[in-house]
Chain A
Amino acid sequence: MIEIKNLHKKYNGITVVDNLSLTVNKGEVLGFLGPNGAGKSTTMKMITGFIEPTSGEIKIKDYLITNLSYEVKKYIGYLPEGAPMYGEMTTYDFLLFIAKIRGVEKNNINNSIDSVISDLSLQDVIYKRIEHLSKGFKRRVGIAQAIIHDPEILIMDEPTDGLDPNQKYDVRELIKKISKDKTIIVSTHILEEVEAVCTRAAIIAKGKLLFDDTPIALKNSGSGSLDDIFREITLGVGN
């Protein structure tokens, strides 16, 4: 479970995340929506302990995230914005490194690697260097490293960015498949994605939480398409 209370983040005097409170329960997939620069990535960076909030608190599995608590990171799988990875490594070496450092048990490492390779169809690129992979493969290796240790908490920043429609479909099915016993937050620009995989939709703009309900409620909250509703909700902020 993830509990966020009154979260604030300021960079050089500019408020990026403004009094954000959210709770995501086990079994839920929260779609995190918002225009570029809304504070989605910043919030995710704070949840995963990469940056510290200016004020407010974040609890993961009843652990308070302060001073980048070491214990709690074991339960988290994280795909950072842009899926950064060590380009000079091969897919296999990279996944092996992550599995080891994530504390996957020795006799389980091969199984975990095999399972993410098959889940994300990485068979053709196992021994290729990551820097030589296409954008779609890179993103999928990024997702693979986030789920390799079967984390209870999964945070993914735009997991389907750069994927073709078939790959997007596969990744959505994968998220649905693994979501039962996990707490998942997925940020996206693609509104249909929220309908397809998420059990909840949260919209933020300029750091403020503007909507938090089911995707169906989002659809029913206005007339017209999801895009229109999104525009309606996000364009009014701060003006």
Chain B
Amino acid sequence: MGPSGCGKTTLLNIISGRLKSSAVTGTQLLAGSTFDDATLRAMSTYVEQEDHLIGSLTVRETLDFAAKLALPGNVSPTERRVRTEDMLRDFGLLSVKDTKIGTPLQRGISGGQKRRVTTASQLITLPKIIFLGAPPACLTESR
């Protein structure tokens, strides 16, 4: 693993299109062709290293909120609910689906579960490319 500060996150920010600067040079290719920002934005998502969740919402409410924000308007409420349930199941969050995320003053789900909720919230649109700033253990452990 590269040492802290060697540029891993900077590179991830550049290739994911989050860091735009005239000081960045180089080429990016998708299936052998160059592409514009809109193309990458439409088919990718970026999961940040930190969890930015609303402590007063339950896990299910968090994913449902993310689905309402991220999914196109032509997705029916039924499909949105199915998508939310799929994410709860796939990320092992069914047992805490009605538990609040929690705040410093109100105990909620664990840190690992928060990481999974954050990741599931970003994957609810089923993006083709996923940039993970800090992958949850459930995606990195051998199985």
Q: Do A and B bind each other?
A: no
A residues near B, CB below 8 A?
none
B residues near A, CB below 8 A?
none
